[in-house]
Structure 1
Amino acid sequence: MAQYNEKLSEEKVFKDPVHRYIHVRDKLIWDLIGTSEFQRLRRIRQLGTTYLTFHGAEHSRFNHSLGVYEIVRRIVDDVFKGRSEWNEKERMVSLCAALLHDLGHGPFSHSFEKVFHLDHEDFTRAIILGETEVNAVLQRIGIDFPKQVAEVIAKTYSNKQVVSLISSQIDADRMDYLQRDAYFTGVSYGHFDMERILRVMRPREDQVVIKQSGMHAVEDYIMSRYQMYWQVYFHPVTRSAEVILTKILHRAKQLHQDDYTFKQNPVHFYSIFKEEATLQDYLKLDESIILYYFQTWQEEEDKILSDLCRRFLNRNLFKYIEFHPANEEMMKLLELRTLFKKAGIDPDYYLVVDSSSDLPYDFYRPGEEEERLPIHLQLPNGDLRELSRESEIVDAISGKRRTDHKLYFPMDLIEDMSSRKSAKKKIIELLNIHK
């Protein structure tokens, strides 16, 4: 691999609320940050609809990407430098992959991907390898360099140490988003001693390991992640907003397929609706564009689309109850669907089961779909031990998937069913919401 070591005449510094400062000394990194594809990340929130629950969560994927870069820069420039098991030639590919790992995220990313059958990782690869400003900057190192950066992000790169820096059960990506999301949501759960973890990280063969003396800092990190998922990422109010957002996109797609005439033609969506999105079309999409359409769709003749857009923009969200998709509950759901239809409320859009699931930590299980490389502790004698074998706290949650199901519905529409008192009474009874 050719090396591109050109430095800036003066170090550039970004003031950052999480890491205090983000340092850029390499001209290549500075030029990547200046590309239109990377600047687009300023217009995409890191946490999607979470700002409707935690009003401070307005931070962007741009913020987070810089943060991941800074953590990896500190690891390779301060912690790993000079160590025999670290190859200094991997420095630049590590920094570029850290900076660009989220490049392909779209607006309200996960909902958008689900509805239109897209994958942000495919678009990340396409931006890095396609005819883009990012690709032109990366090619300065060598014609194969963009491919190497894409391989690190796709976890297929030959040096697994480099891959594990940005994609493992303790990586720079997670270490940044946990702290950053905690800071901007105002919660205390996501804080852990990152300084300590960085100090005890070591390159070892094909992975990054943690010195045994840093085990408690890692325990704290894993518990922080667990708490953040259930208190922030899976917050039921955020999920309610996500449900409505998803249903708006489904409705707009359905109307387009039914040749409905929109007052405001959704030109930005045409190729997306057909599931033929080009990279050029995709890069034109950001959250300001999506919210512009939601704003105009409030005036549409289609009552479902206009109502859902109003709900989302004005935060008139669906209420929810706990729901367990067992036989008895499914029978209740079928009955509720029938009652909703009789009342003129379309259950496809207004009665939604949503599930959240997380596995906080797992050791390696051969043959599983998602290969989860375990965290290894390096003992004083140099031996490696998988974390859950040393830590009782981690052992207690290892391999234990927690799943949560909720049923979402519009309480205001149910309360307005004054002309159908018997149906209203039955719905309230089935939902068990007498209070």
Structure 2
Amino acid sequence: MAYKDEQLNEEKVFKDPVHRYVHVKDQVIWDLIAAPEFQRLRRIKQLGTTNYTFHGAEHSRFNHSLGVYEIVRRIIYNFQDRPHWNNDERLLCLCAALLHDLGHGPFSHSFEKVFKLDHEHFTKEIIVGDTQINKILEKVSPGFARKVADVIAKTYEDQLVVSLISSQIDADRMDYLQRDAYFTGVSYGHFDMERILRVMRPIEDQVVIKSTGMHAVEDYIMSRYQMYWQVYFHPVTRSAEVILSKILHRAKYLFETKDFKFKLEPTHFMSFFTGNVSLEEYLKLDESIVHYYFQLWQQEDDEILSDLCERFMNRRLFKYIEFNPNLQMNEWMELYRLFQSAGIDPEYYLVVDSSSDLPYDFYRPGEEEERLPIHLLMPNKGLKELSRHSDIVESISGKKRTDHKLYFPMDMLDAIKDETVKAKIKEILHGQGEIENVE
């Protein structure tokens, strides 16, 4: 029997808090899960610094990847023997679903911004490079690894396959919304996934939804909207991310400063600092390693690095106010000057952070990110774009919401000795609105 067709002697199951069970029958899938590059995802949190706000958010990208695989497995089971569905793509879909987040690094998005990295690039490199994952995929058939990488990169010729894990209603989003809601303990992310799976239909190059399932999709869209603003963009989580980013910036700056010597050479960060990260070095860095260095850097001679690491490790976060730099540039410049006068480096201790989200959009040709809309399959077999049939979705469709906040260490401001400077800083800050605690 060909490797691609090999089945386990007995079905394996993973007990899962969201889907109850994750079912594995294919030998290929079982082997991929056991590969070291996939096991590494156990050491990468799904939600980065969100556990500073919601203490239960300790789940990993390993959990999420299994969940996406399980949803795709169920979708494919429902698609069997339906027109437009090619069951020869079954294993390809399962592998792409399982491996779609393979390239995420520690505190993924913060790392990517500071070191100008792209997790999608590393996902592709792990799949097509000299790895255990690649060996398993190539054993299926020569070139199979490239097909999996193309599906994840959204360049695969069969866009129906791509849409299962990358569209405005896909297995990736359906898992992370429910999983993140479960582990953060909030109610926003829950929706009737079973209903959505039942009304999904394959049509040529996309998955569509039977019109009878529209209300379940509305619920899904609103769940996503609420999760972004109540969980993913929570200002306390963002405060922790601001400090994390500033630690990495400071460590990189010190590395580039010839007369500074770390007490322990940051071996695992070297290639990140120099901007020449190999796949082997990338795979060696996970969140346990990052925490190890942050723990050590609390004792470093550089006051800024030491202070930021102590804040991050012990959750002494920055306070914040609502602040739009586009409208309040004069106040920003004055605060910057006053922080310098007080001996507080504004590059690290006065930070504007902006969050924005577009919960649902219809197709807009030529836009930077063209979003394929969700289509409803009407009783007459015609297709209708969701927002043209749903008043709820229409009300938020195409509306981008942006939120700006200014973060700063209130304890440092309280310790300023020059009472005049201190008073001016606090006058400006209090004039912008209430200063929010992060407890």
**TM-score, structure 2 as length reference:** 0.97
Paired positions, count: 431
Letter in 1 for 2:279: L
Q: Residue 262 of structure 2 corresponds to which residue in structure 1?
A: 262
| Cα separation, 2, equivalents of 1:3 and 1:355 | 49
- 3-state SS in 2 of match to 1:48: coil
Q: Residue 309 of structure 1 corresponds to which residue in structure 2?
A: 309
Q: Residue 414 of structure 1 corresponds to which residue in structure 2?
A: 413
- 3-state SS in 1 of match to 2:173: helix
| Cα separation, 1, equivalents of 2:3 and 2:282 | 32
Q: 1:84-117 CA deviation, whole Å, 9 max, x = no partner?
A: 2100001011000000000000000000000000
For the Cα contact (< 8 Å) 1:46–1:64, is it kept in 2? yes
| Cα separation, 1, equivalents of 2:205 and 2:309 | 49
| Cα separation, 1, equivalents of 2:421 and 2:399 | 41
Give structure 1 regions of 4+ aligned residues with deviation exceeding 4 angstroms.
none
Q: Residue 221 of structure 1 corresponds to which residue in structure 2?
A: 220
- 3-state SS in 1 of match to 2:140: coil
Q: Residue 191 of structure 1 corresponds to which residue in structure 2?
A: 190
Seen in structure 2, the aligned counterparts of structure 1 residues 310 and 379 have a Cα distance that, compared at 3 Å, is: same
Residue 429 (1) aligns with residue 427 (2): yes
Q: Residue 293 of structure 1 corresponds to which residue in structure 2?
A: 293
| Cα separation, 1, equivalents of 2:83 and 2:182 | 36
Letter in 1 for 2:211: Q
Letter in 2 for 1:426: K
Q: Residue 20 of structure 1 corresponds to which residue in structure 2?
A: 20
Equivalence map 1:26-37=2 (5 Å): 26-37=26-37
Seen in structure 2, the aligned counterparts of structure 1 residues 147 and 380 have a Cα distance that, compared at 3 Å, is: same
| Cα separation, 2, equivalents of 1:89 and 1:369 | 33
- 3-state SS in 1 of match to 2:265: coil
Q: Residue 235 of structure 2 corresponds to which residue in structure 1?
A: 236
Q: Residue 384 of structure 2 corresponds to which residue in structure 1?
A: 385
For the Cα contact (< 8 Å) 2:191–2:220, is it kept in 1? yes
| Cα separation, 2, equivalents of 1:273 and 1:240 | 23
Seen in structure 2, the aligned counterparts of structure 1 residues 434 and 404 have a Cα distance that, compared at 3 Å, is: closer
Seen in structure 2, the aligned counterparts of structure 1 residues 434 and 210 have a Cα distance that, compared at 3 Å, is: closer
| Cα separation, 2, equivalents of 1:227 and 1:264 | 43
| Cα separation, 2, equivalents of 1:192 and 1:288 | 33
Letter in 2 for 1:177: Y
- 3-state SS in 2 of match to 1:408: strand
| Cα separation, 2, equivalents of 1:227 and 1:58 | 20
| Cα separation, 2, equivalents of 1:224 and 1:420 | 49
| Cα separation, 1, equivalents of 2:424 and 2:184 | 39
Q: Residue 167 of structure 1 corresponds to which residue in structure 2?
A: 166
| Cα separation, 2, equivalents of 1:7 and 1:161 | 26
> By how many angstroms is 1:338 displaced?
0.6
Q: Residue 376 of structure 1 corresponds to which residue in structure 2?
A: 375
Equivalence map 1:274-293=2 (5 Å): 274-293=274-293
- 3-state SS in 1 of match to 2:403: strand
Equivalence map 1:6-405=2 (5 Å): 6-77=6-77, 79-259=78-258, 260-327=260-327, 329-405=328-404
For the Cα contact (< 8 Å) 1:428–1:434, is it kept in 2? no
For the Cα contact (< 8 Å) 2:16–2:22, is it kept in 1? yes
- Structure 1, unpaired ranges of 5+: none
For the Cα contact (< 8 Å) 2:360–2:397, is it kept in 1? yes
For the Cα contact (< 8 Å) 2:14–2:21, is it kept in 1? yes
For the Cα contact (< 8 Å) 1:41–1:103, is it kept in 2? yes
| Cα separation, 1, equivalents of 2:401 and 2:292 | 37
For the Cα contact (< 8 Å) 2:355–2:404, is it kept in 1? yes
For the Cα contact (< 8 Å) 2:413–2:422, is it kept in 1? yes
**TM-score, structure 1 as length reference:** 0.98
For the Cα contact (< 8 Å) 2:321–2:434, is it kept in 1? no
Letter in 1 for 2:345: D
The alignment's C-alpha RMSD in Å is 1.0
Letter in 2 for 1:275: G
For the Cα contact (< 8 Å) 1:3–1:89, is it kept in 2? no
| Cα separation, 1, equivalents of 2:388 and 2:342 | 57
- 3-state SS in 2 of match to 1:4: helix
| Cα separation, 2, equivalents of 1:150 and 1:129 | 7
| Cα separation, 1, equivalents of 2:348 and 2:282 | 26
Q: 1:50-83 CA deviation, whole Å, 9 max, x = no partner?
A: 0000000000000000000000000002x10111
| Cα separation, 2, equivalents of 1:54 and 1:337 | 32
Q: 1:366-403 CA deviation, whole Å, 9 max, x = no partner?
A: 00111100000000110000000000000000000000
- 3-state SS in 1 of match to 2:376: strand
| Cα separation, 2, equivalents of 1:42 and 1:254 | 30
Q: 1:296-326 CA deviation, whole Å, 9 max, x = no partner?
A: 0000000000000000000000000001123
- 3-state SS in 2 of match to 1:407: strand
For the Cα contact (< 8 Å) 1:209–1:376, is it kept in 2? yes
| Cα separation, 2, equivalents of 1:304 and 1:325 | 25
Letter in 1 for 2:97: A
Letter in 1 for 2:331: K
- Structure 2, unpaired ranges of 5+: none
